[in-house]
Amino acid sequence: MVDPSSLFRLDGRVAILTGASSGIGVRFAEVLAGAGAKVVLAARRIDRLEELVTRLPGEGHMSIACNLAAPADIESLVAAALDRYDRIDILVNNAGISEQQPAEIEPMESFRRVLEVNLVGAFALTQQVARGMLQHGGGVVVNVGSILGMVGTGQIPQAGYTASKGGLINLTRELAAQWARKGIRVNAVCPGWFSTEMTTELFAAETGQRWIRRNAPMGRAGELHELDGALLFLASDASSYVTGAVLPVDGGWTAI
């Protein structure tokens, strides 16, 4: 009989993680490394990545500066990972930016910039990684979406961000359908409200915290460790018959 806990192990697998310099990205790096993966940390702030590498459990991790809006950076990231490990087993598209402005005044430059990183960059990286995965018989892609790609709020105006995450969610389904018989599984985890660098202003204000408590069915925001299980489930063999899934981790926010 298979030990159920072994299904969640990632021993020896190579995982690229974008947006690894803060918040959810730091937590995900720790979780992937703790499960036995060799983690390639990617983000723009290389100093933070280099410090994080020294703290991760296990060995064989590396850090690479990467701006997902720059095609050359994406090519360099994939090339460096393949040069060192000869394969990529897992890709976690976690990088994202947000610019909050009412839709009627949001500059098109801002809208395009958010989509370029959150959606276009994620697709460009996935495309390059998938080519290698197909040659090696498969792999796993986990896209980090958001509940704001599933529902609107109106009270936190960020049309570019919501559009990018909505696009990423349906891109997840499309890529899953295209690659299902080729060995690549593609799924998405959609966090609700968590205290991160991106949500600093919301959590700093008591009105913001009250808004979350009032509207979340569980009556509170999430703790970062509450995303661990969702990530490990989607990244590991525990979800071997799951592809095209969108998993909200939101305290019931999208259920009402």
Q: Which residues are catalytic?
A: 161
Distances (CA, A) of 204 to 75, 98, 199, 230: 38, 17, 9, 27
Distances (CA, A) of 79 to 125, 129, 173, 218: 11, 10, 27, 44
Beta bridge partners of 14: 38
DSSP state letters, 205-243: SHHHHHHHHHHSTTSSPBPGGGGHHHHHHHHSGGGTT--
∠ Cα 152 23 249 (to 5°): 45
Distances (CA, A) of 163 to 68, 96, 166, 227, 242: 17, 12, 5, 23, 25
Closest by alpha carbon to 185, among 236, 124, 249? Answer: 236
Written as six digits, the tokens of 211 are: 């808004």
How far is it, in rounded angstroms, from Cα 183 to Cα 59?
27
Distances (CA, A) of 169 to 109, 166, 189: 23, 5, 9
How far is it, in rounded angstroms, from Cα 97 to Cα 146?
12
Written as six digits, the tokens of 129 are: 């990684």
